[in-house]
Amino acid sequence: MADDLETFIKALPKAELHVHLEGCLTPQLAETLAKRNGMPLPDSVKKASTAEGFAFHDLTSFLAVYYPAMEVLQTAEDFADLAMDYLTKAHEQNVRYVELFFDPQAHTSRGVPFPTVVNGYRNGLLQAQRELGISAGLIMCFLRDMSVEFAMATLMDALPYKDVIIGVGLDSDERGNPPRKFAKVFGRARQEGFLLTMHCDIDQQDSVKHIRQAVHDIGVDRIDHGTNIVEDAELVELVRQKAIGLTCCPVSNSVVTSDFKGKEILQLLRQGVRVTLNSDDPAYFRGYVNENIFKVAWETDVTRKELVQFQRNAFAVSWLSSWRRDRYLEELDVYAKEKGAC
């Protein structure tokens, strides 16, 4: 029985909407890039191959490992290889479409030019589309623990790249960095035609307050994580009515908090909120999208029909054009019908 469900999940056509490109940097790829660039492997990566493994237990300690590892990313080819590495794995898991976060400020702040980053990622996306048939777009995240001025300058850098950057997001350390801090930047991004999302991480000091700000003050199209919304019934109803997607990441939750929040994610799904299942930083949390779905499948009473609904939500709240979205939804419906899961 368990094997049947595993097969069902593996073959399910999927969309992934919450995955950080820099979070796809495996220790193996980091080693290859370090060698190619003639530089030592960063200490935080060296630790990954020891018995101790990566050392983090919450968002702050994770970020302290995550940013130093990125130093191995130097050339456009490095960024292209990183994108291709992840998209190859996603393709193997029957992911059809991905919206990928990237953190340009983590690179420009150490001297890598903005065009090197975006042209590199774009090349990786084009190669994956050509060779594997998997489609993807980029979401540029501002680092919320950096200044508003730096975020605005980064937005200006992005304007010539609207062909591949489809939206903007907000990530990094949430403590003391509320959505409202970036209202002006997100307002300008909206004017420029970018779609809007932002992280409201799990169990933060002001999680619900931040979700409220994201919805009311920023007018986001989606929220990344956002699971703490279950604490406020009115806000849940508003998000449901507005059809705002929540991109949840069970395996990531289980690493940076004491719980994977499966119960809350399923509760939201059953209340009609457009929740989706995603991997966040798969190279660090050791779970791509299938492993995230397995976790929910093994550890909750989710049904097959609901597993299909998570994917229906993902395509529905994706930023695809309506005709492309409908094509993927049709494929999903055919699969669900064939497996008696609708």
User: Binding site for Zn(2+): which residues?
Assistant: 18, 20, 199, 280
Write out the H or E segment, with its range, that includes residue 207.
helix 207-213
* Residue 23 contact partner, candidates ligand HPA, Zn ion, none, CB within 5 to 8 A by sort of partner: ligand HPA
Name every residue whose Cβ is closer than 8 Å to that of residue 40 and which is 6 or more positions away in sequence.
Answer: 34
Query: Which is closer to Zn ion, CB of 85 or CB of 280?
Result: 280
Query: Which is closer to Zn ion, CB of 27 or CB of 282?
Result: 282
Q: Does 201 bind ligand HPA (CB under 6 A)?
A: yes
> Rounded to an integer, what distance in angstroms lies between the CA atom of residue 220 and that of residue 218?
6
> Rounded to an integer, what distance in angstroms lies between the CA atom of residue 21 and that of residue 11?
24
Binding mask 151-180 for ligand HPA (x = CB under 6 A): --------------------xx--------
> Rounded to an integer, what distance in angstroms lies between the CA atom of residue 95 and that of residue 81?
18
Judge residue 38's burial from the number of C-beta atoms within 10 Å of its C-beta, 0-12 exposed, 13-18 middle, 19 or more buried.
Answer: exposed
Known binding-site residues for substrate equal: 281
307 close to 326: Cβ distance less than 8 angstroms: no
Q: Does 222 bind ligand HPA (CB under 6 A)?
A: no
Minimum gap (Å) between residue 5 Cβ and ligand HPA = 27
Q: How many CB atoms lie within 10 A of CB 92?
A: 13
Nearest residue to ligand HPA, scored by beta-carbon proximity: 171
> Rounded to an integer, what distance in angstroms lies between the CA atom of residue 332 and that of residue 12?
7
Q: Which member of 16, 71, 264, 281 binds ligand HPA (CB under 6 A)?
A: 281
Q: Does 280 bind ligand HPA (CB under 6 A)?
A: yes
Total residues contacting Zn ion (rule CB under 5 A)? 1
Nearest residue to Zn ion, scored by beta-carbon proximity: 280
Query: Which is closer to ligand HPA, CB of 95 or CB of 202?
Result: 202
Known binding-site residues equal: 18, 20, 199, 280-281
Name every residue whose Cβ is closer than 8 Å to that of residue 298 and which is 6 or more positions away in sequence.
Answer: 2
Minimum gap (Å) between residue 161 Cβ and Zn ion = 21
Q: Is 306 left (phi over 0), alpha (psi -120 to 50) or beta?
A: alpha
> Rounded to an integer, what distance in angstroms lies between the CA atom of residue 39 and that of residue 59?
27
> Rounded to an integer, what distance in angstroms lies between the CA atom of residue 200 and that of residue 237?
17
Q: Does 280 bind Zn ion (CB under 5 A)?
A: yes
Query: Which is closer to Zn ion, CB of 40 or CB of 68?
Result: 68
For 92-105, the DSSP string reads HTTEEEEEEEE-TH
Query: Which is closer to ligand HPA, CB of 78 or CB of 280?
Result: 280
Binding mask 106-145 for ligand HPA (x = CB under 6 A): ----------------------------------------
Task: Summarize as ranges the residues that interact with ligand HPA (CB under 6 A).
Answer: 20, 23, 59, 171-172, 199, 201, 252, 280-281
Task: Summarize as ranges the residues that interact with Zn ion (CB under 5 A).
Answer: 280
